[in-house]
Structure 1
Amino acid sequence: MKTQVAIIGAGPAGLLLGQLLQRSGIDNVVVERRSRDYVLSRIRAGVLEQGTIDLLRAAGVSARMDREGIVHHGFELALEARRERIDLSGPTGGRAVMVYGQTEVTRDLMAARDAAGGASVYEADDVALHSLESEQPFVEFNRDGERERLECDYIAGCDGYHGVSRASIPAGVLREYERVYPFGWLGVLSDTPPVSEELIYARHARGFALCSMRSATRSRYYLQVPDTEQVANWSDERFWDELRRRLPEDVAAALITGPTIEKSIAPLRSFVVEPMQYGRLFLAGDAAHIVPPTGAKGLNLAAGDVGLLASLLKQANDEGSGLPLQRYSERVLRRVWKAERFSWWMTSMLHTFPDEDGFTRRIREAELDYLLGSAAGRATIAENYAGLPMQQ
């Protein structure tokens, strides 16, 4: 097999890159080690920045998103009993976010790829990347018991934190930056109406809580828990009782509870590798960086990565030169680090830390109080939450 771009990973990053390249006339093949059904079964975040919304529209995959997505022009901070709404659209010239599940984005991209006749290989075993520094890199994998070889001009590593792409870069090339937090998020999904029309981020002495949603009838709620906690310790009743304790009284009184249909604990970490390219391999999404979910940046960062990468690959193809791609890492990391900063800041401001002293806690409270009391401070929060420009 031969193609121009081999894309490793059929999550939203890989599929969006494939869609953008397809529309630019650049041949590509997606290679995924999991099954198609498995990819669609993964439950992930669902808040899309304005830039991601615009990119999905430009990619021609926004019809269902525009029908079913819920546009939010703000979100709320609940600080014990105090409630503060952050207006997103006013300070940002009309920008907003949209609640639309990552699984639905993936489904739309899969359907678009099928309709366009794009080549995808699912359940590819023992994927290996070769000759990354040469002009003719290639990918090998097992399919139906046969070893296959995919020759290409470039490889895009969109296969996540545990994927083969980053692991294929020789030792000593990458610099890793990491912050592991001493807590996780216990999340539940329930077929109950959301407690609020907009997301509520709650800071409380007992720990952080988030009230989110997937639709007008499906809610997503989270609680901060120790990193040693186990899902089995949390019955539905215990979860709802604890969530009420961490919310303002009027919000807790309006909470509609019911059986949960999914329950899991996600650890929180910040992670970045530099550079995000090696030879003709380019990393994107979780293969190169992870953010705590507090700032709703994971999927949006991945979209920014592949949006820039698709643009540079088109430029390289049009010019017949790889020079435009040489600055991919330098350019994309500027946006990555800004999003990492905001996600770290949101996490630091709203969570309780087990080893935090009283002085540090009061400084955090003073910083947030200062920003909320300033038009410029609120604008800073709004422009970061709604999303910084995609291409830096």
Structure 2
Amino acid sequence: MTTTFEPATMPAVKRQQLAHLTAQMDALKQGGTYFKLRVLDDEQGPVCSYDGRRVINLSSNNYLGLCEHPKLKEAAIAATQKYGAGSGAVRTIAGTMRIHMELEEKIAAFKNVEACVVFQSGFTANAGTVSSILGKEDFILSDELNHASIIDGARLSRAKIKVFRHKDVAHAEELLREIENEPGRKLIITDGVFSMDGDIGPVDKLADLAEKYGAIMMVDDAHASGVLGRNGRGSVDHFGAHGRVDVQVGTLSKAIGSLGGYVCGSRDLIDYLYHRARPFLFSTSHPPSVAASCIAAFDILENEPERIERLWSNTAYFKQQLADAGFDVGGVTTPKSETPITPIIIGDGRRTMDYSKALFEAGVMATGIAFPTVPEGRARVRTIMTSEHTREQIDQALEIFVSVAKKTGILS
């Protein structure tokens, strides 16, 4: 017998306790930046279906096409059959499975560090680490464009936060000098690749500062893992800064194609996070299928370097064509993109969202991003290239970008 659940009916009288949220949503609608979630109907590929419409997908973090890779699927199915659908507990009680340890050992070897711990997401990896390794007597020096998870972790730590201008190493040193003789630890933190503008953080130069002033050095490599460095080892490898970065954070849900985040560093750091990082202590561990698919992904990074080569070839071509067409792809009012993340800067939030919607109707998925995700006046359509886009698909997308831009007044 099949049971059918009817949707709940709306109460006859609306409660007013959350009326302020309705007012804020109304303000977003009036400003033209309100959006509805688009629903993916099939696999996350270079061309896929959202809301029943077939589109060229330029919004996914699936840099290397691993979300739909057969080896990841096979690994996930095999692990489910062997270990079950879930782990059943948090890691510190009964939820640490052998496959979790295998994944952490695999990542540590890949990143050339002593140890690694896997979190449920990149966000919790950042927030849980920063908030647990520092306290209210300490200082955090953070790039002004660092990811929200870094900002939240810094606030949760109760440390004193100093924000330096974007990629401005001299300003970071100026702030360090101001607090050099203050008691407490100092932490310098930067994104390896900045998610909204696609530029690369000055990891090597900030590591120099950390050494000079005895600070802890931390890098969030969410958008650098699988993209920068040998076989996608990230920004630390890209700059040859092995042994100079104390805390490396990465994600398993972008180029790796699955789900989760991780922290790499010394054995003592990882053991400490086992004991003190609240997201690790209070969240059920990954299903075995997720751990298995991630292990398979790192094997592919080692054995199929041509994927990263295709990614960078596609990226160079796409950037150049957008620039030649007259689009602002950064470097004027915003930082210049250096990676497969290429923003098309429009400025006004409403115009940006309208352009994104028109692109979707014409066959391209390219998400509009406006305040508060980016500063006022810097709204953009953010595009992300992958290794799996064909030249034909890229050219078709470019034609749509230009034609819709001319129709909407973005280009003359």
| More helix as a share of residues | 2
